[in-house]
Chains A and B, each alone.
Chain A
């Protein structure tokens, strides 16, 4: 009987404090925002974060990659991962491998390393933006990157 009372006196405060700790910890369980990139990458690779399905129309993103004398279109996959603490992270993963440089440029001439022209960059941007086709705010016209950049140049 005495032993039982003694056990209760020892165990009860522990249980009480454990309960407080668990409640406090769960109250703090809203998604954290301080997980840095390197930690996220490590946690995804170690399986701590669970992959959740990504919307079909958001599975891949196309990008324009300069390959010495012409642009090539490459893609990466968009993944969504959820951590045990509730944080959800969108990631870019599995980028296409960089293809070897072509021997010929888009005009059939020898491919010589150079920088892209403004016209080539603009054409590539238009093609990539159309291919990825983002949603628009209600009433907003298509996002005209060239016009915005021209405005920016004027402002500076």
Chain B
């Protein structure tokens, strides 16, 4: 009888241990992120899905093949332009341009920036600005007949307030 009790206790302990190891724990709270993915308009054959995510002190970009009518195309490119928009302004002021980045035949690629865009947009402290990212994606269509880069954009991709 005593052995059976031990057996049951051991079983319960093991199940609890197993539960703790395998069931994902609730995520910790994070500062809000600002994300946009997808495209505003796609040309026939366009098969790249892009994403930009922005938080304070970091942002990330990524592209991946999706919905591809053009199965031979695995190369895709993405580039970004960064702006600051002051309160009341409709247009953003130019901050910087980042060169195109290509997938080198990978199905997807992404890159995380471990710094705030403000670092290269700073035009003096003590101002509120929205930092926005415009993003474009292209995929290479190498099929005979109409080879070329196919793609489009969305803008602004993301924004976050840089507030002192």
Q: Is the CB of A148 within 8 A of B151?
A: yes
Q: Is residue A86 within 8 Å, beta carbon to beta carbon, of the partner chain?
A: no
Chain B positions 99 through 115: 1 when the CB is less than 8 Å from some CB of chain A, otherwise 0 = 11110110001111111
Question: How large, as a class, is the contact surface on chain B?
Answer: 35 or more
Which residues in A have their C-beta under 8 angstroms from that of B149? 140, 143, 148
Q: Is the CB of A95 within 8 A of B119?
A: yes
For the complex formed, measure the closest distance between the CB of A105 and the CB atoms of chain B, giving whole angstroms: 15
Q: Is the CB of B123 within 8 A of A155?
A: no
- Between A and B, how many residue pairs show CB distances below 8 Å? 157
Q: Is the CB of B123 within 8 A of A68?
A: yes
Which residues in A have their C-beta under 8 angstroms from that of B138? 143, 148
Which residues in B have their C-beta under 8 angstroms from that of A6? 2-3, 6
Given contacts A37-B33, A137-B105, contact A92 B94 (CB under 8 A): no
Chain B positions 126 through 152: 1 when the CB is less than 8 Å from some CB of chain A, otherwise 0 = 000000000010101010000101011
Q: Is the CB of A134 within 8 A of B59?
A: no
Q: Which of B51-101 contact A (CB under 8 A)?
A: 53, 55, 57-60, 75, 77, 79, 93-101
From the candidates B6, B30, B98, name the one contacting A36 in the complex (CB within 8 A): B30
Chain A residues in the interface with B (C-beta under 8 A)? 5-6, 9-11, 13-14, 17-18, 20-21, 24-25, 36-41, 44, 61-66, 68, 74, 76, 78, 89-93, 95, 98, 113, 115-116, 121, 124-125, 128-129, 131-132, 134-140, 143, 145, 148, 152, 155-156
Given contacts A37-B33, A37-B58, A128-B99, 5 further A-B contacts (CB under 8 A): A9-B6, A66-B96, A91-B112, A92-B111, A115-B93
